[in-house]
Chains A and B, each alone.
Chain A
Amino acid sequence: MNMRRTALAIATALLSLSGVADDGWLPAVDPRSTVGRLSAFESLAACAMPADTQRQMLAASRRQAAAARGGAIAPVRDIRDAYPSFAAVAVDTVRNEVVLTDENLFQVLVYDRTENTPPGAEASKPKRVISGEDTNIEFQSGVYVDQQTGEIFAANNDTRDTLVVFKHGSAGNVKPIRQVETPHGTFGVVVDEVHGELFMTEQHDSALVVYRKDATQEESPIRFMQGLKTGLQDPHGIALDPKEDVLFVANYGSTHAVALTDKPKTGVNQADNREGKDNWPLGREFAVPGSGTINPPSITVYRRTARGDAAPLRKIQGPDTGLNWPTGLAFDPQARELFVANDAAHEVLVFDAAANGNAKPKRRLKGAGTKLANPTGVAVDIKNRELWVSNFGGHSATVYDISASGNVAPKRIIRNAPENTPSLMIGNPGAVGYDAKREEILVPN
C-alpha cells in the first residue's frame, strides 16, 4: 500500500470520529462548518504524523467531506494553514497568563505565562481557548487585558465591526460579557485605566475612536480623531504613556481625505454601524476622489484628549527610524521606552519615549537567533521585566528580557505548531490571482 492510499484510509477513519474527542483546543472546532475546520481530534492525530502524511490526510479528508455535502464540486487542492497565526499579545501579570489572538482559526488562546514549548514537542497546549460563532471572534487584531479583573478586550479588524470583551476564565463557544459596535477596520486597542477610556485605531478611514471603557452595544464613541492634519495614515498599533498622558500610534502611511458633503456618494461601501452614532469617523462615502497619498511609515504622538483633526505633538518618521510596516506597539512606563513590532523587517524596534523626527531606535531586536518572523504584536510585562512578541509568520510567541538587544535568542517560546511548520500567513484572502507563466498562485492578504 503506498503512502497516499494509507493517508486516505486514515483520513476516512478520522473524519468519522471528528467531534468525539473534541476538547476545544488547538486548532478549534468551527461550529459553523464540519468541512471548513479541522476537529481537535484531527489536529491531535495529525500532529503525531510526518508532515507529508499530514498534508495528504487533511486534503483527502476535506475533499471527502465536501463531496459528501450535496454533491458540490470539491476542490482538488486546499492551501490552508492548519495551525493558529498569532496576531496580538497581552500579558496578565496578576494571574500569570498570556493572551494571544489567532487570526487564522478565529480564536483567543490563553497560556500560562511561563509556558515554554520543549524542543521536539509538537506544540504547547493552551489553558483555555475562546472560539466559536457565539464569541463573535474572527480577525481579532488587537488585544488588551484588564489587570484588575482579567477581562480580555479584543478588537476585530475586518469582518465583525465589534469589540468583544470576555470575563477572565472564559473558554469555548461563549458569548462576550460585553460587545460594542465599532467602525469598520479597527486594529489596535488600549485602555486608560485612570480615566476609564478605551482607544482603538481604525485603518480604513485613518481614524482613532475613543469609548468609555465599559461601553456596550450601540454606544457612541465619546470622541474621535480623523483628518489629514492628524497624520493618522492607515493606523495600526496603539500604546499609552500614562505619565505624560499621550498616545502613540503606528501608521503604515497611506490615507485619503474625507469631507462631509451634503450628499454622500452612493454605490461605495458606507461606514458601518454609523446610523444614530455620534463621534463616528467619515467613511468611504465621504472620501475625496483622487486625494489619496502613500507616505512613509510613522509613529505619531497625541495628547490623550486630542480630538478632531488635531495635529500630532510629534512624529517619528524617516529613513533612520527603520520603520517598515510598524504594526503592534507597547510602552514601558518604567524605562520610558516604546516597543514597535516592525513586521516587514522581522524585528522589534525600541525608541525613547521622547523620540521625534528621523530618530534612530535605541536598540533593535533582530536576527535569526531571535526567531522573530513577521512580528505583529508586542507586549511588555513590567512586573517580570519581559518583552512578549507574537510572530504572525512564525507560529509562535517569543519572550525576551525587556532590555534585550541584537540577535538574542528568546528566553521562552510558545509554539502553536510543530517546529519549522510553514506559516502561510493567509489572512482574509480577499482576492487570488494566477501567474500562468510561472504556474504560481498569487494571494494578497
Chain B
Amino acid sequence: MADGQAERLRAIEGQKTLLGRTMHAIAYDEIHDEIYVTQQFGQGILVFRGGATGEEPPVRVLNGSKTQLIAPDRLAVDPVHDEIYVPEGVKILVYPRTANGDVAPVRVITGPDTGIGATRAVTVDPQRNLIIAATQVWGSDEENRARGSELRIFERTANGNAKPLRVITGLRGMGNLAVHSPSGLIFSMQTRYVGVWNIDDNGNVPPRFTIGGPNGILRQGRGLALDPKNHAVIASDKELNAVLTFQVPEIFGSGTAAAGNRR
C-alpha cells in the first residue's frame, strides 16, 4: 500500500491524452475497467482504458455543441445503468456511459422545484436507484455561508423540474461525494473533514461520522474515493498536497443497521 514518498506506478500524461493540467474529477468503473476524467477548459469528458499509461489517447471523448457542458468539474459514473452524471451550475446532466463525440444529455435535472441553485458534486447509488447531489442556494458568498449547503437526493431517473425525495441540510461545503451502496452511507467532503450521512437521512441531521477532522489532519479536502474491501476512505487535500487513507471498519460496518428505513 502506497505511503509517504511513494513512487507512482504509472502516469497518463502528454498531449495525445487530451488531458490538461486542471482536473477536478476522476472516476473508475470496475465493471468496464475504464477511467473517466473531466476536461474543464475544453468542455469534455475523457474516458481511458483502466490500464492506460503514458501518452495514451482516450477511448472515448464526449465533447461538442450538443453536450451543453460549460465547465465540467466533477462527475459520477453508474456502471450498472450505464450512465454518466455531470453537475453543471443549476443542472445535472445525464449521458449514456458509452457516449462518444457530440452527444446530447439523455436527461437534464433542473428547474425551481429541484431546489438546485448551484451544484458541484454528484454521486449515484445504483442499488437504490438514487442520485445524490451536493447543492447550494445561489447567492452571495455571505448568504451561502450562512445558509450552508445541502445533499439533495433524487430518483436516479429524475428528469427536468423534479422534486428531490429528501434534502439533508446544514452542510458546510459542496465537496466530492461517494456512496457505499451496501451500507447506504453517503460520504461528503467538507472542507476540513469527510462527513458521513445515511442515505435515508432527511433535514438538518448532523453527520453520523466525521473522518479526518474537523480538528484533524484535513485542511482543504478535495478528492474522495472509497475502498470498501479494505474498509478505507481515501481523501486528497490540496493544501497538504497529500493523499490520505483512513481505515474505518467501524463505519463501513455500521451502515446496514443505520440504514434501517431503506427504499
Tell me the complex Cα distance, A66–B210, Å: 14
CB of B13 closer than 8 Å to a CB of A: yes
Residues of B within 8 A of A296 (CB): 15
Contact of B71 among A33, A58, A266, A269 (CB under 8 A): A269
CB of A50 closer than 8 Å to a CB of B: no
CB of A80 closer than 8 Å to a CB of B: yes
Q: Do residues B90 and A432 form an inter-chain contact, with CB atoms below 8 A?
A: no
Residues of B within 8 A of A75 (CB): 212, 217, 235, 244-246
CB of A211 closer than 8 Å to a CB of B: no
| Cβ distance A406 to chain B, nearest Cβ, rounded Å | 21
| Cβ distance A68 to chain B, nearest Cβ, rounded Å | 10
Chain B, Cβ-Cβ closest to A35: B217
CB proximity to A under 8 Å, residues B133-165: 138
The contact string, 1 if C-beta is below 8 Å from chain B, for chain A 320-339, is 00011100000000000000
CB of A444 closer than 8 Å to a CB of B: yes
| Cβ distance A278 to chain B, nearest Cβ, rounded Å | 22
Contact of A74 among B3, B68, B176, B217 (CB under 8 A): B217
CB of B132 closer than 8 Å to a CB of A: no
CB of B82 closer than 8 Å to a CB of A: no
With contacts A268-B70, A294-B39 known, is A429 near B237, CB below 8 A?
A: yes
| Cβ distance A25 to chain B, nearest Cβ, rounded Å | 19
Chain A, Cβ-Cβ closest to B119: A267
Q: Do residues A77 and B244 form an inter-chain contact, with CB atoms below 8 A?
A: yes
Say which one of A110-118, A247-255, A351-359 lies at the interface with B.
Answer: A247-255
Output the residue of B9, B117, B246 with the most chain A CB within 10 A. B246
| Cβ distance A426 to chain B, nearest Cβ, rounded Å | 5
CB proximity to B under 8 Å, residues A61-93: 62, 65-66, 69-70, 72-82
| Cβ distance B234 to chain A, nearest Cβ, rounded Å | 5
Chain B, Cβ-Cβ closest to A324: B15
Assign chain A's interface to a size class. 35 or more
With contacts A80-B4, A268-B71, A290-B68 known, is A429 near B222, CB below 8 A?
A: yes
Chain B, Cβ-Cβ closest to A286: B70
Residues of B within 8 A of A37 (CB): 240
* Total cross-chain contacts (CB, 8 A): 305
Residues of B within 8 A of A421 (CB): 5
Q: Do residues B63 and A292 form an inter-chain contact, with CB atoms below 8 A?
A: yes
- B contacts with A, residue count (CB < 8 A): 93
Residues of A within 8 A of B13 (CB): 325, 344
Residues of B within 8 A of A79 (CB): 2-4, 6, 242-245
Contact of A344 among B15, B88, B239 (CB under 8 A): B15
Output the residue of B14, B41, B44, B229 with the most chain A CB within 10 A. B41
CB proximity to B under 8 Å, residues A274-311: 284, 287, 289-294, 296-297
CB proximity to A under 8 Å, residues B21-67: 21-28, 30, 33, 35, 37, 39-44, 50-51, 55, 61, 63-67
Say which one of A190-198, A213-221, A362-370, A433-441 lies at the interface with B.
Answer: A433-441
| Cβ distance A184 to chain B, nearest Cβ, rounded Å | 11
Residues of A within 8 A of B217 (CB): 35-36, 62, 65-66, 69, 72, 74-75, 78
Residues of A within 8 A of B (CB): 32-33, 35-37, 51, 54-56, 58-59, 62, 65-66, 69-70, 72-82, 103-105, 138, 158-159, 185, 203-204, 206, 233-234, 236, 252-256, 265-269, 284, 287, 289-294, 296-297, 323-325, 344-345, 421-422, 424-445
Told that A35-B217, A233-B41, A430-B25 touch, could you supply 18 new A-B pairs with CB distance under 8 A?
A51-B5, A55-B5, A55-B6, A76-B232, A78-B243, A185-B22, A203-B22, A255-B41, A267-B90, A267-B116, A268-B71, A292-B44, A324-B55, A422-B6, A424-B8, A430-B238, A433-B28, A436-B28
Residues of B within 8 A of A (CB): 1-9, 11, 13-15, 18-28, 30, 33, 35, 37, 39-44, 50-51, 55, 61, 63-71, 73-74, 88-91, 102, 116-119, 138, 176, 193, 210-217, 219, 222-227, 229, 232, 234-248
Question: Which 6 A/B pairs are nearest by Cβ-Cβ distance?
Answer: A292-B43, A72-B216, A432-B223, A254-B42, A70-B215, A267-B89
